[in-house]
Amino acid sequence: MSKINVTVNGRPVAVDAGSTILDAANKAQVRIPTLCHIEGLEPTGSCRVCSVEVEGRKTLVPSCAEPATDGMKIRTNTPRVLLARKQMIQLMLANHPDDCLYCMRAGDCDLQQMAEDAGIRERAWRRGEHRSHPVDRSSPSVVRDPEKCILCGKCVRVCDEVQGVAAIDHAGRGFDSFVLPAFDDELASTTCVNCGQCVAICPTGALVERSDLSRVWRYLADDALVTVVQTAPAVRAALAHVYGMSGGDAEARMVTALREMGFAQVFDTQYAADLTIMEEGTELLHRIQEGGPLPLITSCSPGWIKFAEHFYPDSLENLSTCKSPQQMLGAMVKNYWAEQMDVPAENIRVVAVMPCTAKKFEAERPEMETEGGRDVDAVITTRELIRAFGEMSMDFEVLEPGEFDRFLGASSGAGAIFGATGGVAEAALRTVFYLLTGENPGPEDFEAVRGLEGVKEIELTLPDGAVVRGAVIHGLGNARRVMDRVASGETDYAFIEIMACPGGCVGGGGQPYGADLQRTAELAGELYEIDEKRVLRFSHENPEIQKAYEDYLESPLSDRSHALLHTQYRGRSQFSAEDEASE
Ligand code: SF4
Ligand code: SF4
Ligand code: SF4
């Protein structure tokens, strides 16, 4: 690609032809604030906060939308630019509640930070007549406060262009503009799949996760309850990033932090990831040997499951019947662990710490219940866990390393990589290869499924020479493209891994704010490193999993496994949350 040369604040920089001014500034390591820009999507230039001066131009130009041209001289910090930026922010604040003290985004809010950086200390315009709209708390995953919306449009674009759901859109004009679900319905009544990608990208408190932290503190304060916790692989990867340490160190300190919070037992969702591999790998082999239905599609991402229920109800028989690891672990605690420890299941509360807002929805699905009661009683995100540390004034970095409770806490490296796109397929193939040949493959034999390409393909050669093909997909927009081809019979995949969020769970909607592709790749790298350092790399070699089958479950896909670890799905309307038929 040909290069052009520009200067940004006097710094010369060469960029690819076709780059924007914002790209050039990033390359020159000059920070330009933006509120509406999304990396990888076409710019809209709607917030104008990123406007800059270009020599020879009379008006300021939005740097995210303006192409850089050879010889361009760009200035991002002249008094004219700063005054214009201040005015744009003041205009947003003119219609914004002074709610920071009580807002979940306080201290971690792009708008608040931008106002601070711009030196805004008082309102330029008194808050007069303003748009008023009630807070929507209908969803188990996402809370909408339209009065805090600055109409940047990022949520609309992510929901439509990245996730292919389009549950929310712009409505009204001028002063009456809002971002709303269709027909101004409650979010819970729409096709929203609860992925939280809108929450992760919203620059204000207009979209936040429904916090269940207070409920968790109430459980922990109740001496009559035995409250246990499980944590997903991607949570430790995010903590490693936030606190600047390795994934292994973050994992060990996280366990100590959870014990200090008061949890009676600290279990690892990675144990249940190993269990999922045993069940799902066996299910795949059965389907291959017994003629389908194929492709078998993974079922551990609840955002993907609800997406399939709305938009691909005819493919529901292709979904694995396995519950997600979160739900499997909850069912094992309330039945197996309760029996072994002689604890009445009704006194147990299972809390899950997840990178995901859709897990809150999943935990409340009516299907997610066994004789022991609800599989999981409360789900908090990685962000909520970090807030809990703050509430406890806990210094995470100085905590002593701890270890998971072994009973439902021992896991293999295969369980760790579940948190990254491709991880479920890679972990499953390690065990499927063993089940077919009686020998372990090299732990890295299936690493072709790693990386952030939206759709990846892989092949496995069976002992009889037959080749089984599979696909790995992340992001629901990519899933839609592949599922359309599956529905029209254009593919010959035997299995497909689908994760709703870009990058998989490491890029989940409940992870710390500020995600981008680079961070997502780094978090995935933490999980691969944890896998590499584990002595155990294969789910089928996890001794606690072997013991669970010997003592309790009997074998993968046994009647008891089905009762505890498997579920069913329901067709839903393409236009609303309504159920249409049961599978
Ligand atoms: S969204 Fe940001 S600026 Fe608005 S009330 Fe919340 S913290 Fe304050
Ligand atoms: S949670 Fe996901 S599906 Fe729902 S509105 Fe947000 S981006 Fe769209
Ligand atoms: S809800 Fe958030 S992301 Fe969506 S338009 Fe409003 S401020 Fe932007």
**204 and 298 belong to one structural domain:** no
Note whether 198 and 139 are same-domain residues: yes
Number of domains the chain is built from: 3
CATH number, domain with residue 153: 3.30.70.20
Residues 53 and 162 in one domain: no
Query: Could you tell me which residues come within 8 angstroms of residue 367 by beta carbon, excluding any fewer than 6 positions away?
Result: 567, 568
Is residue 199 within 6 Å of ligand 3 at its C-beta?
no
Q: Closest by alpha carbon to 468, among 501, 446, 498, 453?
A: 446
**Structure pTM?**
0.95
The protein residue with its alpha carbon nearest to ligand 2, atom 6, reads 198
100 shares a domain with 50: no
Cα 562 from Cα 282, distance rounded (Å): 13
Tell me, yes or no, whether 383 and 404 share the same domain: yes
Ligand 3 centre and the CA of 523: distance in Å? 26
Nearest CA residue ID for atom 8, ligand 1: 100
Based on the domain organization, do 244 and 179 belong to the same domain? no
For 399-481, strand residue ranges (E) read: 455-461, 467-474
Tokens 């952030």, located at residue: 452
Question: pLDDT truncated to tens, each residue of the chain (583 aa)?
Answer: 799 999 999 999 999 999 999 999 999 999 999 999 998 899 888 889 999 999 999 999 999 999 999 999 999 999 999 999 999 999 999 889 989 999 999 999 999 999 999 999 988 887 667 777 899 999 999 999 999 999 999 999 999 999 999 999 998 877 778 899 988 899 999 999 999 999 999 999 999 999 999 999 999 999 999 999 999 999 999 999 999 999 999 999 999 999 999 999 999 999 999 999 999 999 999 999 998 899 999 999 999 999 999 999 999 999 999 999 999 999 999 999 999 999 999 999 999 999 999 999 999 999 999 999 999 999 999 999 999 999 999 999 999 999 999 889 899 999 999 999 999 999 999 999 999 899 999 888 888 899 999 999 998 888 888 888 999 999 999 999 999 999 999 999 999 999 999 999 999 999 999 988 899 999 999 999 999 999 999 999 999 999 999 999 999 999 999 999 999 999 999 888 888 754 4
194 and 230 in a single domain? The answer is: no
Q: How far is the CA of 168 from the centre of ligand 2 (A)?
A: 8
Q: Report residue 371 as tokens.
A: 């004789």
Which ligand is closest to the CA of 165, given by its number?
2
Tell me: do 182 and 292 sit in the same domain.
Answer: no
Of residues 11, 35, 265, the one with CA closest to residue 148? 35
Residue 372: φ, ψ to 5°: -75, -5
Which of residues 77, 106, 123 is at a domain's end? Answer: 77
Residue 463's pLDDT is 82
Domain hosting 124: range is: 92-209
Distance, CA of 475 to CA of 502 (rounded, Å): 5
Pocket of ligand 2 (CB under 6 A): 142, 158-159, 163, 165, 167-168, 192-198
pLDDT of residue 583: 44
Strand duo 369-370 + 348-354: pairing: unpaired
The answer to whether residue 417 is domain-embedded is: yes
Q: What is the predicted pLDDT for the residue at 581?
A: 54
Active-site amino acid positions: 280, 283, 300, 320, 359, 362, 367, 505
